[in-house]
């Protein structure tokens, strides 16, 4: 029999699509032909594979060789098909036994000398292979540590095609253990990090950051230069709750697809913090290109996306964030399909109130009313409506810097936040949400019930502060978070008052 079939896989966004690599070696005019809706780099694999097979000590027969990558309606791209194509041809030639390759999935790029090189996206492929009941996954040695993050799947890491052919029956790699995860987490916690105790004064702003993290709310800080906006934003990761194994796994998947994992320590054990420069493009922020890749908002999923000097960003770039912030998902449409990437971020933004930054201090601000209005107008009201918490950051006073008062450290704040998040997880168990910021309209009515006094106050605030339906609901969600931080089951007037203060910043 001159026909063989090898299992492989391709990525479309974060989705893994199984691919079967079929090879047929038969009598006829000598040729090497590949079909199956292939991109240019896959078509080029023909010459790489032929040369790699020859340099691995095998003789290519002067026969008709046809390779098909199925399904034919899914576009194949990348170099990860080199190794399964070579293995399929060698199996069809009779150089490799078919039986050991049943329920084995293979991915990897080949060099001309037969060496096997690393590829992107191994982690989601390994996860899909485990769920599909694959017995063994063959990957480049450079990706072996990444693949071993998936428990319950045998891994064989190979350096060369010749090595694979020798060890094809030895697919018995060790499986990663929970003890390894625990050790990595403890090592991470031992590192020295920035701390909220470093920030003198600014108690109101630090409180706003605590509320924002506790309920996974978006945060906007407005104030003069040197007030500590960036310092506070960069310390927010220190008060984020620790990653669970499942969260770490999902974040690592995104970085695997983006090709940004360390070869030795592939597991992401800290929540991401991505600071984006004002020159960022739409494609870099959301993901995109002819063949889309995860953008900054997806790389920050599970953590913080920080936009400093918000008014300096191109308006069109900022506006594209509106839908992903609501849906917590990025969808990129291309002719070959829809690519979906996660966007479950806490957005933190900072901006000056005017071009010079000192408004409304007229002793220092030299901007005209028109300049101030034009500067603040760079951020649209619909975008501002998606910021759950807006807080003014005043200039730091000398007394704060010269005083000896002890500031609260990040660990103390994080413990309060974790208790508040535990209440949310318990309350929303089985509801497909985890945080107050994710509450829908119907769920707000159920979990943010108000008493008579609270209803009366919110009615007055709706008119006085010119709230919209969206901003009204966001105020209730923030109040729910404040109540959780205080350990209260009901939302009281003081919780609503604090929430409304965070909506009363005029920019």
* Helical (H) or strand (E) element with 147: helix 144-147
Out of 3-7, 193-197, 396-400, 408-412, least confident range: 396-400
Out of 176-185, 247-256, 283-292, least confident range: 176-185
Tokens of 150: 């998936």
230-269 burial code (b ≥16 CB/10 A, e <16)? bebbbbbbbbbbebeeebbbbbbbbbbbbeebeeeebbbb
Tokens of 123: 């982690």
Is the domain spanning 194-431 CATH 3.40.50.2300? The answer is no
DSSP 197: G
Please compute Rg for the chain using Cα positions: 28
- In tens, the pLDDT along 388-426 reads 999 999 877 766 666 667 788 999 999 999 999 999 999
Confidence of residue 182 (pLDDT cuts 50, 70, 90): very low
Confidence of residue 338 (pLDDT cuts 50, 70, 90): confident
Confidence of residue 62 (pLDDT cuts 50, 70, 90): confident
Nearest to 83 by CA among 152, 154, 157: 157
Classify domain 3-167 at the CATH topology level.
Answer: Ribosomal Protein S5; domain 2 (3.30.230)
| Cβ count within 10 A of residue 148 | 24
The whole-number pLDDT of residue 348 equals: 97
Percent of the chain with pLDDT over 90: 64
Instruction: Check pLDDT > 90 for residue 90.
Output: yes
User: Residue 386: left (phi > 0), alpha (psi -120 to 50), or beta?
Assistant: alpha
The whole-number pLDDT of residue 404 equals: 65
174 cis-preceded (ω within 30 degrees of 0): no
The whole-number pLDDT of residue 147 equals: 94
CA distance 402 to 412: 23
| Cβ count within 10 A of residue 484 | 25
How many Cα atoms occupy the beta-carbon half-sphere of 19 within 13 Å? 31
Cβ-based neighbours of 448, under 8 Å, separated by 6 or more:
439, 476, 477, 479, 480, 491
* Helical (H) or strand (E) element with 250: helix 245-258
Nearest to 221 by CA among 334, 324, 347: 347
Query: Residues 90, 82: contact at Cβ < 8 Å?
Result: no
The whole-number pLDDT of residue 114 equals: 95
Query: Residues 421, 217: contact at Cβ < 8 Å?
Result: no
Query: Residues 149, 123: contact at Cβ < 8 Å?
Result: yes
Could you tell me the pTM of the whole model?
Answer: 0.87
Torsion angles phi and psi, residue 281, rounded to 5: -95, 170
* Domain range annotation of the chain: 3-167, 194-431, 439-507
Tell me the torsion sign for CA atoms 376, 380, 381, 386.
negative
3-class secondary-structure state, position 207? helix
The distance from CA 313 to its chain's CA centroid, rounded to whole angstroms, is: 22
C-alpha distance from residue 414 to each of 178, 213, 336, 418, 419 (Å): 24, 9, 44, 6, 9
């Amino acid at each position: 029999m001159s026909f063989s079939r090898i299992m492989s896989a391709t990525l479309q966004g974060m989705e893994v699509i199984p691919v079967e690599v079929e090879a047929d070696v038969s009598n006829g005019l000598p040729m090497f032909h590949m079909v199956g809706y292939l991109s240019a780099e896959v078509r080029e694999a023909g010459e790489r594979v032929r040369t790699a097979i020859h340099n691995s000590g095998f003789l290519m027969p002067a026969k008709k060789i046809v390779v098909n990558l199925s399904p034919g309606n899914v576009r194949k791209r990348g170099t990860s098909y080199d190794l399964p194509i070579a293995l399929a041809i060698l199996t069809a030639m009779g150089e490799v036994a078919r039986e050991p390759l049943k329920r084995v999935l293979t991915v990897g790029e080949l060099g001309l000398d037969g060496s096997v090189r690393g590829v992107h996206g191994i982690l989601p492929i390994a996860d899909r292979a485990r769920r599909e009941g694959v017995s063994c996954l063959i990957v480049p040695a450079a990706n072996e540590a990444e693949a071993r993050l998936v428990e319950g799947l045998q891994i064989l890491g190979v350096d060369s095609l010749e090595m694979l052919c020798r060890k094809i029956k030895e697919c018995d790699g060790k499986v990663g253990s929970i003890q390894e995860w625990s050790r990595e987490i403890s090592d991470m916690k031992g590192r020295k990090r920035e701390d909220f105790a470093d920030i003198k004064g600014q108690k109101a702003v630090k409180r706003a950051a605590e509320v924002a993290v506790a309920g996974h709310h978006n945060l906007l800080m407005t104030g003069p230069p040197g007030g500590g906006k960036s310092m506070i934003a960069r310390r927010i990761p220190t008060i984020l709750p620790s990653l669970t194994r499942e969260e770490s796994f999902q974040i690592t998947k995104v970085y695997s697809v983006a090709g940004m994992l360390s070869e030795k320590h592939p597991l992401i054990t800290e929540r991401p913090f991505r600071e984006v420069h004002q020159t960022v493009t739409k494609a870099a922020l959301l993901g995109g290109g002819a063949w889309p890749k995860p953008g900054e908002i997806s790389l920050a999923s599970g953590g913080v996306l920080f936009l400093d000097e918000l008014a300096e960003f191109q308006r069109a770039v900022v506006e594209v964030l509106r839908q992903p912030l609501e849906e917590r998902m990025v969808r990129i449409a291309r002719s070959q399909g829809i690519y979906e990437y996660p966007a479950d971020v806490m957005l933190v933004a900072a901006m000056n109130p005017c071009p010079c930054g000192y408004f409304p201090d007229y002793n220092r601000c030299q901007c005209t009313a028109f300049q101030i209005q034009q500067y603040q107008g760079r951020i649209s009201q619909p975008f501002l409506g998606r910021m759950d918490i807006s807080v003014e950051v005043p200039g730091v006073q000398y007394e704060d810097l010269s005083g000896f008062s002890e500031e609260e450290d990040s660990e103390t704040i994080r413990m309060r936040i974790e208790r508040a998040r535990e209440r949310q997880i318990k309350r929303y168990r089985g509801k497909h949400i985890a945080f107050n910021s994710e509450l829908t309209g119907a769920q707000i009515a159920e979990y943010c019930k108000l008493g008579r006094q609270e209803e009366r106050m919110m009615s007055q605030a709706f008119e006085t502060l010119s709230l919209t339906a969206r901003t009204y609901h966001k105020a209730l969600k923030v109040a729910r978070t404040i109540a959780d931080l205080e350990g209260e089951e009901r939302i009281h007037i003081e919780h609503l008052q604090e929430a409304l203060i965070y909506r009363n910043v005029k920019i």
